[in-house]
Homo-oligomer: A and B are copies of this chain.
Amino acid sequence: MKGFRTSSVALGPSIRAVNPWALGNPGPREMQQLLSREESAQLAEIASTVKFGKGAEISHEGDPADAIFNITSGVIKAHMRGPRGTEHVSAFLFAGDLFGLAQDGRYVSSITALTPVTAYRFPIRALANRLSANATLEFHFITKLCHELRQAQRHSFLLASNRTVTKLTIFLQMLQQLHSGGELTKEIYLPMSRSDIADYVGTSLAAISRAFRTLRTLGILRSPDRRHVEVLDNTAFEKLACEVNPTHSA
C-alpha cells in the first residue's frame, strides 16, 4: 500500500461530476469523485473489468441493453445514425463517466472507443439491486445524471450557434474545462478525428478544417500536431465563443 493516494489512484469504479446542489459562486467548477471508498467497493463486487482496442465498437444502437459501463481510462464517442445514413455524435466521454443509456431496454446510441479503453461493466440487474439497497449510492447516480443532462444542454447550446468558428471554439473550451481541475490549460488534447468533431458540432468536415485554419491564421491558436492545440490568445479565444447571431435574441 506504499505510495497510496486516495485522490489520484482509481482503485475501483469512479463517478465524477459537479455537485448540482451545493451552493457555490459562479466561476470554475470543480469535478469531484462522488463515490466513497465503500461505495466504490460495493460496485466493484458486481462489476467486471473490460478492455477495448482503439476503434472497437463497444455497444451498438438498438441492441438489447444489459449493462452500464463506467470508464476507467480512455475516450469513447457515443453516436447515433440518422434514418438516412447521417452520423450524429451525441457525446465524447472520459474517465469517470457512465455510458449505456437505454430506452425500452435497448441502447440509445452506439459506443465506439477512440483510444484504448478500460471500463467497468455493471449488469443492469445486479446494479438495480445494489442501488435499491443503498440510497446514498443511488443519490450519487442521480447527481451524475444531472451532470450529464447539463452536459447535453451545453451541447445543444453549442449546436445552436451559427458560425462554425464559434462552434469549434465552444467545443475546444469544453475540452479545456474537462481536463483541467478548475484552472484552464493552454494545451488541449484532441482524442477524436476532425470528422468526429464535425459530427459532434453539427457541420461538415470541410467547415471544421477551415475553422481551424481561421483560428490559426488569426494567431489565436497553434497546432504542433493534429491532435494537439495550444491557445495563444485566450482573450480573443473566449470572445469568439460569445459571437452569435443577433437575430436570435429575444
Contacts and interface: CB of A to CB of B under 8 A. Distances in A.
Interface in A140-167: 141-142, 145-146, 148-150, 152-153, 155-157, 159-162
A85 interface: yes
A176 to B, nearest CB: 16
A204 B155 CA distance: 19
Nearest to A204: B247
Interface string A131-146: 1111110110110011
Given A132-B135, A146-B145, A156-B156, A245 B102 contact: no
A210 to B, nearest CB: 13
Interface residues of A, number: 74
Interface in A19-35: 19-26, 29
A5 interface: no
Minimum-distance CB pairs A-B, first 10: A23-B105, A152-B152, A24-B104, A160-B202, A159-B159, A83-B242, A145-B145, A85-B249, A204-B247, A86-B244
Interface of A: 18-26, 29, 62, 64-65, 80, 82-88, 90, 101-106, 108-109, 124, 128, 131-136, 138-139, 141-142, 145-146, 148-150, 152-153, 155-157, 159-162, 195, 198-199, 202-206, 241-250
